Chains A and B, each alone.
Chain A
Amino acid sequence: RKEVEQDPGPFNVPEGATVAFNCTYSNSASQSFFWYRQDCRKEPKLLMSVYSSGNEDGRFTAQLNRASQYISLLIRDSKLSDSATYLCVVNIGTGRRALTFGSGTRLQVQP
């Protein structure tokens, strides 16, 4: 089983739609969680951290469910510019290989 699993997609949604991605992680000792965004042929960029209580940044909402070991990302009112691959990232603790990246979920927002 992969340490971090994501549905690769693609998710094709119309502009203005709400879309949600889930990501599951296998290590219950995981301590912190992030969503990164990667545009085609570009480097990954931090989108948002995921806090235990859930957090929101504009149209983006991230949630953590420790009991079921998954995190989610909700995007409301999708824009064309949201089209990208969204990487789920998990930190299992201090030291080596602390960040583990999922393979990403591709989102395509259509006009």
Chain B
Amino acid sequence: GAGVSQSPSNKVTEKGKDVELRCDPISGHTALYWYRQSLGQGLEFLIYFQGNSAPDKSGLPSDRFSAERTGGSVSTLTIQRTQQEDSAVYLCASSLARLLGYEQYFGPGTRLTVT
């Protein structure tokens, strides 16, 4: 079946511009996560959506970052006034929420470069 898809796969933008990154989770998955991964680093949690509950935004690094999830499916991560330190791979993951474990399935990521 179809996995998690993300678009665009690569994005180069000028410092100060806004960008939107899109994630299409696996159909039926109620949980959706955004992470970012800088070169050679681990995954940094950004935001988590679970069903219709209020999202957990505790990982967003600044108020320039926001995300929404429409209709419980597609999600968009928006970065306003991009800075060079925002350059990273932005990964989206989805999962079926389970009582004891959350096996997450990742999309291929969006590689963002801010020049």
| A residues in contact (CB < 8 Å) with B | 31-32, 34, 42-46, 49, 87, 91, 95-104
Contact = CB atoms under 8 A, between A and B. Distances in A.
Contacts, number: 51
B42 A46 contact: no
Contact of A31 (B100, B104, B108): B100
A72 to B, nearest CB: 18
A34 B45 CA distance: 17
Contact of A103 (B42, B48, B104): B42
A101 to B, nearest CB: 4
B56 A87 contact: no
A39 B34 CA distance: 19
Contacts of B58: 96-97
B28 interface: no
B59 interface: yes
A99 B42 contact: no
A101 B106 CA distance: 13
Contact of B42 (A34, A98, A102): A102
A8 B42 CA distance: 10
Contact of A99 (B41, B104, B107): B104
B47 to A, nearest CB: 10
Contacts of B100: 31-32, 91
A104 B101 contact: no
Contacts of B18: none
A44 B48 contact: no
Contacts of B108: 42-43
Given A32-B101, A96-B58, 10 more contacts: A34-B101, A44-B106, A46-B103, A95-B50, A96-B56, A97-B56, A97-B59, A98-B48, A99-B45, A102-B42
